[in-house]
Chains A and B, each alone.
Chain A
Amino acid sequence: DGGITQSPKYLFRKEGQNVTLSCEQNLNHDAMYWYRQDPGQGLRLIYYSQIVNDFQKGDIAEGYSVSREKKESFPLTVTSAQKNPTAFYLCASSPGTVFNSPLHFGNGTRLTVT
């Protein structure tokens, strides 16, 4: 089945450590996105990528980094510079032009930093 796989589902880290969240898609979609979701709030865009080796910052990119070395993969690193990293992280992909077609989401990674 085609889809987006995020791993792990739950992730625990100590403050000051960098952590990388995995996102893989086999939908052959060009565009990929990372969103953050906090309780009672909508999704906020961290980074997005239209094509391989290119990515753009979203509203809340500070303290995060990404890479897009392969079309299928868009890992997100939460660095120690992110002041409040505990959240639910959602990866998505879409065909065609960014933001003009439906997003397909993974099932998320819940990150807890203590």
Chain B
Amino acid sequence: SQQGEEDPQALSIQEGENATMNCSYKTSINNLQWYRQNSGRGLVHLILIRSNEREKHSGRLRVTLDTSKKSSSLLITASRAADTASYFCATADVGNNDMRFGAGTRLTVKP
């Protein structure tokens, strides 16, 4: 069964704007990861944030984690047309041998 739920399901912005995607989950986690998928391709890992971390940065990406609210957000700053893709959060549950993916947010960045 799926764990993470991304919000919104779809997001359309202009190049140069920031994009924020949210992920909620239900159980206790070891870590939360964000992935990107271009149409018809495999997923590419973006960032892993552990349960004892609150924020991580990687280039134009900023991820936050609030374990009290069981939520995470992915911020892409100064978006580019090449950022157009689907973005998924995935949680590694404490005690469970699984990594559960949400249904993703479809991001479209218009040039």
Contacts and interface: CB of A to CB of B under 8 A. Distances in A.
Interface residues of A, number: 27
Interface string B87-110: 010101100011111111000000
Interface string B16-46: 0000000000000011010100001111110
A99 B42 contact: no
Nearest to A108: B42
Interface residues of B, number: 26
B43 A45 contact: no
Interface of A: 4, 6, 35, 40-45, 48, 56, 58-59, 90, 92, 98-108, 110
Interface of B: 1-2, 4, 30-31, 33, 35, 40-45, 48, 88, 90, 92-93, 97-104
